[in-house]
């Protein structure tokens, strides 16, 4: 088991955002974290990383998370934040190589292993073509890919990503989903919060539907994404279909007035 979470609770200010979340992640899973705005998806990811205080038990493999040092945790899981913050005009390649910092002791320079990992990550995200450019001068989508490459270079068993597809064009959205699926196929795991139900339905191996700080559905996409759950949780009607051997979900309209609007 890569990650085991029991009864995780967290508050932001006075508001309780996570009300007892329990789930575990096995190797080879690509988990989509879905739910309406304010459901607690980002808070869950940040609590798992220890970025905000939380109560409950989080185990990383065989390690008990509260007793794990920051660097050890960084060797276990990488994180792609929602905000695409790049403070200085550093070259793309240097930025991606930051992902290797938990692997490097003290003031050590990049080793051949580090360079190979950086190269692999840049090729996977197709950013090796502009490695010399200043990261602050890139377009939003290019920045997003560079930041994901940075997390890939960390080469951790578990990758957490907060809305990684936001701002990407369809081709790069699919490339990213395909990449996450490939990572899962090679026994690494990905937990990504997603707003695009169509992508979630088609590419994830498992979905966690979160609402009001609780997990309201957990299972394969076809079991989680039903007309009933979309109506009650999102308040939308959706088209369900099947194409090329995969599930197709397309939200169409708000639930009619007579329905259970949130």
Partner 1 sequence: MSDTSRYGLVLGALAALTAILFLLSLTVGPAALGFSDSIAALFSDKSGAIELIMGEIRLPRALLGLMVGATLGLSGAALQGYLRNPLAEPGLIGVSASASLGAVIAIYSGLAAIFPLALPLSALAAAVLAVVVVQSLAGLRGSTLTIILAGVAVSSFAGAMTSLALNLSPNPFAALEIMFWMLGSLTDRSMTHVWLALPFMLAGWLMLAMLGRALDALTLGNETAASMGIDMRRVQFLAVFGTASAVGAATAVAGAIGFVGLVVPHMLRPLVGARPSRLLPASALGGACMLLAADILVRVIAPERDLKLGVLTAIVGAPFFLWLVYRTRRKLA
Residues engaged in binding partner 1 (CB under 8 A)? 46, 49-51, 69-75, 77-79, 81, 83, 85-91, 94-95, 98-99, 101-102, 107, 134, 136, 147, 150, 154
Find the shortest distance in angstroms from Cβ 201 to partner 1.
Answer: 28
Q: What is the Cα–Cα distance from 83 to 162, expressed in whole angstroms?
A: 9
Tokens 């967290």 locate to 10
Residue 173 C-beta: closest distance to partner 1, Å: 21
Q: Report DSSP state, residue 68.
A: S
Give the nearest distance from C-beta 89 to partner 1 in angstroms: 5
Nearer to partner 1, 45 or 233 (CB): 45
Q: Give the residue with the Cβ less far from partner 1, 109 or 244.
A: 109
Exposure string of 152-174, with b = 16+ CB inside 10 Å and e = fewer, is bbbbbbbbbbbbbbbebeeebbe
SS3 26: coil
Nearest residue (CB) to partner 1, 152 versus 233: 152
Q: Report the nearest approach of partner 1 to the CB of residue 62 (Å).
A: 19
147, 159 in Cβ contact below 8 A?
Answer: no
CB of 95 to partner 1, least distance (A): 7
Q: Is 69 exposed, middle or buried (0-12, 13-18, 19+ CB in 10 A)?
A: exposed
Q: How far apart are CA 100 and CA 109, in angstroms?
A: 10
Residue (150 or 206) nearer to partner 1, CB: 150
Cβ-based nearer residue to partner 1, 98 or 179: 98
């Amino acid at each position: 088991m890569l990650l085991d979470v029991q009864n995780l609770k967290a508050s932001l200010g006075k508001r309780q955002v996570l009300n007892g979340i329990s789930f575990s992640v096995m190797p080879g899973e690509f988990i989509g974290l879905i739910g309406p705005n304010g459901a607690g998806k980002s808070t869950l990811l940040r609590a798992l990383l220890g970025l905000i205080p939380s109560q409950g038990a989080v185990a990383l493999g065989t390690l008990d998370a509260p007793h794990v040092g920051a660097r050890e945790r960084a060797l276990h899981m990488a994180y792609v934040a929602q905000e695409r913050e790049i403070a200085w005009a550093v070259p793309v390649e240097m930025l991606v190589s930051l992902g290797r910092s938990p692997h490097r002791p003290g003031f050590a320079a990049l080793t051949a292993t580090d360079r190979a990992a950086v190269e692999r990550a840049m090729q996977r995200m197709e950013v090796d073509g502009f490695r010399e450019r200043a990261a602050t001068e890139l377009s939003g989508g290019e920045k997003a890919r560079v930041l994901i490459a940075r997390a890939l270079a960390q080469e951790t068993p578990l990758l957490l990503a907060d809305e990684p597809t936001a701002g990407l064009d369809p081709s790069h959205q699919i490339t990213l989903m395909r990449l996450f699926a490939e990572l899962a196929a090679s026994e690494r795991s990905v937990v990504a919060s997603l707003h695009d139900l169509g992508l979630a339905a088609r590419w994830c191996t498992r979905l966690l539907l979160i609402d009001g700080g609780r997990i309201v559905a957990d299972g394969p996409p076809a079991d989680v994404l039903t007309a009933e759950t979309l109506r009650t949780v999102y308040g939308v009607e959706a088209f369900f279909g099947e194409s090329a051997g995969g599930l197709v979900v397309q939200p169409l309209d708000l639930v009619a007035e007579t329905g259970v609007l949130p």
